[in-house]
């Protein structure tokens, strides 16, 4: 007898299924599909992410063990390892990439007023990449080094809520700076990145789009100082300079003025030099903005530890991208649930609770709420006392 929805089904109810169907139709995901739909494929891989399944056989065994519950979990067909492997290999990964963007847009609306440590009206993005190592013999398309394969996740992270707004998945050989060519520049936004993205022609494109960037200067940075502004050195600031570039090619690529800010990081005893085109923010805010860039590093560390994106269920490029995009969808879905239900536990805690309660028929709010459990002693008249 069904006494209610499982937690897995309640979690999937937060997904906009109409938008998912639109993504499937856009790429003809159901062309020649008889039974195992794209939605079933998404549910299988989302279940694998939430329960930390290590292989397709693990997914098949676990879901078949709950055969009588599959319908109430949302599945409309039986799960077979070969069918799932074939779906991962041939169904267009862009279905799940577009659906992830739908979830990302919803999450950004929910976290629009989230505080990230600085009181700024502008949207602040952190841009960085992480490398996922692969075996070149199994993934020959993922070129990186002579005997090593890898894919890169180039991520633009909205610091309000740590929501990944755009993700580019490339082979390991693609240099980070090339992503700036694909980046849609939002006027008035601030883009924070490390010195691997220091390309003046590409940075000048950000300037022309009326946006701002904060990055680090390289050691061989060739410039001419025009004037300096006073700074409070007790805050760690070393200098605040207005400069122009000296080199022939760099001056041609970026003819406008730049701002150079020096800061001493007392925690690491390190001298940092930042370059930006923002002349209105205080110099200390520029240094604090760059410090916030580490949120994207924490995001990469989090998804690598708590989602299945280092071991893959298929070795084709399509299977790898499908798995990564569904993993991102699960991350954003949990963030949406956390905000909609006003949950206090962290995303890590919510994931851990979900991993062991997906088949239970408890209200999801009750399962995920941080309830303090107390042990109650019930006296039983039939029980003898061991000690008087």
A 10 A CB-CB count for 239 gives 16
Q: So what's the pLDDT on residue 383? A: 47
Backbone angles phi, psi at 41, to 5 degrees: -60, -45
Report pLDDT for 373: 41
All domains of the chain, ordered by start, with CATH? 7-94+320-368 (no CATH), 202-280 (2.20.25)
Question: What pLDDT, on the 0 to 100 scale, is given for residue 3?
Answer: 59
* pLDDT at position 219: 85
State the pTM of this model. 0.88
Low-confidence stretches of the chain (pLDDT < 70) are 1-3, 370-388
The CA distances from residue 284 to 181, 214, 262, 290, in Å, are 30, 12, 9, 10
Closest CA to 244 of 263, 267, 220, 221: 221
Angle at 21 between CA 355 and CA 311, to 5 degrees: 40
Which has the closest alpha carbon to 313: 18, 45, 16, 29?
45
């Amino acid at each position: 007898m069904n006494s209610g929805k499982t937690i897995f089904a309640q979690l999937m109810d937060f997904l906009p299924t109409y938008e998912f169907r639109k993504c499937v139709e856009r790429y003809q995901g159901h062309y020649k599909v008889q039974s195992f739909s794209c939605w079933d494929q998404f549910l299988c891989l989302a279940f694998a992410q939430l329960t930390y399944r290590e292989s397709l056989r693990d997914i098949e065994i676990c879901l078949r063990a709950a055969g009588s519950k599959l319908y109430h979990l949302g599945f409309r067909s039986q799960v077979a390892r070969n069918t799932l492997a074939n779906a991962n290999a041939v169904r267009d990964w862009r279905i799940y990439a577009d659906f992830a963007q739908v979830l990302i847009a919803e999450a950004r609306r929910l976290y629009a007023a989230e505080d990230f440590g600085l009181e700024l009206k502008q949207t602040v993005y952190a841009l960085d990449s992480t490398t996922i190592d692969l075996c070149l013999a199994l993934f020959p398309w993922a070129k990186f080094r002579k005997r090593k394969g890898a894919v890169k996740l180039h991520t633009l992270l909205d610091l309000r809520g740590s929501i990944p707004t755009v993700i580019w998945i490339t082979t390991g050989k693609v240099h980070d700076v090339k992503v700036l060519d694909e980046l849609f520049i939002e006027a008035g936004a601030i883009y924070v990145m490390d010195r691997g993205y220091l390309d003046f022609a590409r940075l000048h494109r950000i300037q022309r789009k009326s946006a701002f960037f904060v990055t680090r200067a390289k050691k061989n940075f060739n410039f001419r100082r025009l004037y300096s502004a006073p700074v409070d050195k007790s805050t760690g600031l070393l200098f605040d300079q207005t400069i122009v570039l000296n080199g022939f090619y760099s001056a041609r690529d970026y003819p406008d003025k730049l701002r150079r800010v020096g800061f001493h990081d007392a925690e690491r005893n390190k001298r940092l030099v930042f370059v930006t085109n923002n002349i209105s923010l205080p110099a200390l805010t520029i240094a604090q903005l760059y410090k916030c860039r580490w949120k994207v590093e924490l995001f990469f560390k989090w998804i690598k530890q708590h989602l299945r994106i280092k071991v893959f269920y298929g070795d084709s490029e399509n299977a790898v991208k499908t798995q990564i995009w569904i993993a991102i969808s699960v991350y954003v879905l949990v963030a949406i649930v956390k905000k909609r239900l006003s949950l206090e536990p962290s995303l890590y805690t919510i994931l851990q609770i979900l991993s062991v309660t997906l088949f239970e028929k408890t209200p999801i709010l009750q399962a995920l709420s941080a309830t303090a459990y107390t042990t109650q002693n019930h006296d039983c008249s039939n029980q003898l006392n061991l000690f008087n």
